[in-house]
Chain A
């Protein structure tokens, strides 16, 4: 009985509540009607007027991009205003005529204007369509003078990049350019509009989200002649965050100059944290040209230059490491117990195996060679024999411990992996088994072996610090427009090699001898005050044979390599230099490394009068000071 009563109550309860729900529904619908009554009956005249006579106009105000600074706070890339010409579709009745008028007034190419206009089809009619970018101040003045004849035409100011050191570090910094139709379709760019500038390459692209800032805009009510009646809504742009790079811009320029126009790459890295101090790909290009339409002759020049200036050689150039690879073969031998520091081999200029003759670079041979001498004089025969004993897979395993043959994750696009061949790899790639004769070139860094300059630097840095592999990185911190640090990037250890310090010591002694002992191949990198250790390498582009002896074409000449670290006793930096088609590493690459090292240690020396403050060079030039805010400037420009 009681139970039944309860059941009835439960059923009844919700039924009553449908009535309460109905009241709630009615109230909310009534509110909608009230609002509609207000809009459609009370305010009808205002809105009628707005829809018939007045026009709303939306003017985007582009945000200033964050600056790029070097490790000392020196600005490398900042902004300057550029002007672009837009027309507002809803306000231009006769677009063809308008384009004609603009083309003749400003002496612009009408087909280019029309091309941009056509691309805007299907977009909101109130949104300005950019029809010319990067127009000159004179052209801006002409537009302003003819204001009344050009209704619906707007000049807007967009910040574009200004490069403090022109072409320096162009591959690293990257460039900005107008967003393409393809990019506009990508989810990552869903907030962007046609005509926006985005990072297209390098740091500018990788850090786009931090650097870009967010654009603002103004909603204006204008009359039929385009005069502003009132500002309906306004949002100011937010300046993007700045980046402090690990690069030292002074060292960077020294390194670039040292190449003297030769093609190649250099990477300078802190061996104790992976910070990249210089990142050179030579020759460089002018990144400022990419913000507009590149002059055809310059573009053609870049494409036809056989030194390939647009290629990022430090990251994407894959070279046979040549004799620089011998330090790994030696470590593999020491760790496997195949050799020790006293093992000697006789070199008479060649080594025979399976009926083939493998030549040493020195025709007359090196005589009796131990580990130290094998590195110092870069004896090939020593490594042929060692390689034969080790087999390719043990050499590859050593390279694997150094994390070669894969991306190190520097954080820029198009990083290449290089290649460390193994017997399994060959079977997969070519369906053929590995022949022992193929191991010999691998032992001296030839054959299938490929490494990028970044990997070369990482390899020698890992030898220098005796086993820690740091992720090479380019950004120290992210700084907001007020100069406050938002994010500090900490060094990241990718792994350790697990090689005994004793083996490292023995190899390092050899590397010391390369630069400092009489007869060493790397004497060109010697410094009088700091002990440098290094290794030369010369990698063949064309196989041994007749071609090499002929008067050789540029493309057939050897690459010269040099890797080094210093100081020998307490390593700070590692340097890798590749000179494309330059000849012997000791002759062409070692002097460049020497200049870089010289500059590095000179820059370390505090300037005499500033000695007490030397510890904190940033104090003299606080980080926020160089980050100029161009927001104001941009806005002023918009008012013109």
Chain B
């Protein structure tokens, strides 16, 4: 039943890169959580399970022709918007934000799913929308509206990290289709003075402070910047060869916050040094470039769009997470795909990998 060509053109490079990163991540989680003494299953075992489940899920997604995504895209979109509204109305609060929705038998985080759905929705829109010489301002209005609704709903939770990612993914896809210069200039001319005006003239000091808190939640908390300093010490003290596996003092003495999730990279950098981070970053670079390659060699506009979208998702997660732990960006809770501990992130990323695989496997069919 399955076309033989599908099997022969299975993308081993993609799966290989992802698996190597995942395994490095699990190795690292073992070290990062070695300092915790807790009952129950160890984090690295749990992560191993998530990885296995994720790979299986990616195969299931890959076995489906990605064109069916197009048919359902707007339904997915509408459904997700409903879920996001539901989160705001009846969501579960934890740590000052409402992100989870309890469906009785399990809880889901609709904002996480939105990352995939925005890719599918934008792919469908641009697949059927033909433009000559780049997108004009007028042509951007509908996609902007498609983007604004979920982005604002996610910001309301508040979850600035995810909202930013959704916006960045959408912009990357629109960039793939191409803007006219006039569009870029117009948007710059409108947004920059408008934000400046709102900031300098209209907003009161306490509102400004709220915005700053929102952009950087660490700011208002005690110990602000402390995490970043500790993270930089961990990374910097790693030196070229690192301190050795499970020998990172910053990590083992638990100076780092969330060291098995958002700050997993600092643990790795401390223990494996520049040598290790260079390898890991090159692996990520290969994965991203491979994703773009899948987009390039796909003969189908929809496939290209989907591949660029998924690649953008993985790329921005990587850049923002690593940029955060080495003090280039403010602290927003964005995990490093395949590397940070966490089931939600693993599933979203693996669904993305499944879509890439589906496109890559069918490159000779269209």
A364 in contact (CB, < 8 A): no
User: Complex formed: what's the CA distance from A279 to B364 in Å?
Assistant: 83
CB distance from B94 to the nearest CB of A (A): 8
Beyond known contacts A18-B308, A36-B281, A44-B240: 16 more, CB 8 A cutoff: A7-B130, A10-B301, A18-B295, A36-B235, A36-B274, A39-B232, A40-B277, A43-B236, A44-B237, A47-B235, A48-B236, A56-B230, A125-B255, A126-B230, A187-B96, A215-B222
Q: In the complex, which residues of chain B have a beta carbon less than 8 angstroms from the beta carbon of A40? A: 235-236, 238-240, 269, 273-274, 277
A14 touches B176 (CB 8 A): yes
- B232 pairs with A18, CB closer than 8 A: no
The segment out of B156-164, B320-328, B342-350 that lies at the interface is B320-328
Contact B301 A39 (CB under 8 A): no
Q: In the complex, which residues of chain B have a beta carbon less than 8 angstroms from the beta carbon of A19? A: 296
A and B contact pairs by CB, cutoff 8 A, 14 listed: A7-B130, A10-B301, A14-B176, A14-B295, A21-B172, A21-B175, A29-B285, A39-B235, A40-B277, A47-B232, A50-B237, A52-B249, A191-B220, A235-B224
CA distance A258 to B319 in the complex (A): 71
A104 at interface by CB-CB < 8 Å = no
Instruction: Please tell me if A599 contacts chain B, counting CB pairs below 8 Å.
Output: no
Interface residues of B in 211-264 (CB under 8 A from A): 220-226, 229-230, 232-240, 249-250, 253-255, 257
Q: Kindly supply a per-residue 1/0 record for chain A positions 37-57, scoring 1 wherever the CB is within 8 Å of any chain B CB and 0 otherwise.
A: 101110110111011100010
What's the least CB distance linking B178 to chain A, in Å? 6
Interface size on B, residues (CB 8 A): 60
Pair A191/B296 contact, Cβ less than 8 Å: no
Question: B93 at interface (Cβ–Cβ under 8 A)?
Answer: yes
Indicate which residue in A26, A32, A44, A127 contacts B239 across the interface (CB closer than 8 Å).
A44
Nearest chain B CB to A111's CB is how many angstroms away? 25
8 Å CB contact of B233 from A14, A17, A36, A50: A50
Interface residues of B (CB under 8 A from A): 93-96, 130-132, 172, 175-178, 220-226, 229-230, 232-240, 249-250, 253-255, 257, 269, 273-274, 277-278, 281, 284-285, 288-289, 292-293, 295-296, 301, 304-305, 308, 315, 319, 322-323, 326, 328
Q: In the bound complex, how far is the Cα of B322 from the Cα of A564, in angstroms?
A: 70
Given the known interface contacts A40-B239, A47-B236, the answer about A32 and B253 at a Cβ–Cβ threshold of 8 Å is: no
Q: Judge if A570 is at the interface, Cβ distance under 8 Å.
A: no
Mark out the residues of chain A between 41 and 99 whose CB falls within 8 Å of any chain B CB in the assembled complex: 41, 43-44, 46-48, 50-52, 56, 58, 60, 90
Say whether chain A's binding surface is mostly helix, strand, loop, or mixed: helix
Q: Are B220 and A25 in contact, with the CB atoms below 8 A?
A: no
Is B273 within 8 A of A29, CB to CB? no
Question: Is A342 at the interface (CB under 8 A from chain B)?
Answer: no
Pick the residue among B95, B131, B257, B315 that contacts A124 (CB under 8 A).
Answer: B257
9 tightest Cβ-Cβ pairs between the two chains A and B: A47-B236, A51-B237, A40-B274, A39-B236, A47-B237, A190-B96, A18-B296, A44-B239, A48-B237
Interface residue A217 (Cβ < 8 Å from any Cβ of B): yes
User: Taking the nearest CB of chain A, how far is it from the CB of B276, in angstroms?
Assistant: 10
Interchain CB contact under 8 A, B221 and A35:
no
Q: A36-B269, A40-B269, A125-B254 are in contact. Are A21 and B226 (CB under 8 A)?
A: no
One digit per residue, 1 when the CB lies within 8 angstroms of any chain B CB and 0 when it does not, for chain A 10-35 equals: 11011101110110011011011101
Q: Given A13-B178, A32-B326, do A18 and B240 touch, yes or no (CB 8 Å)?
A: no
Q: Is the CB of A41 within 8 A of B274?
A: yes
Cross-chain contact A25 with B178 (CB below 8 angstroms): no
With the chains together, A232 CA to B94 CA distance in Å? 31
Contacting residue for B253 out of A7, A17, A90, CB 8 A: A90
Q: Which of A11, A19, A28, A193 neighbours the largest number of chain B CB atoms within 10 Å of its CB?
A: A28
Complex Cα–Cα for A6 and B130 (A) = 9
- Is there contact, CB below 8 Å, between B220 and A214? yes
Q: What distance in Å separates the Cβ of A612 from its nearest Cβ neighbour in chain B?
A: 37
In the bound complex, residues from chain B placing their C-beta under 8 Å from that of A190 are: 95-96
Using Cβ atoms and an 8 Å threshold, which residues of chain A touch B315?
25
The docked-state distance in angstroms from the alpha carbon of A633 to that of B314 is: 51
Q: Mark A194-224, 1 if CB is under 8 A from B, else 0.
A: 0000000000000000000011010100000
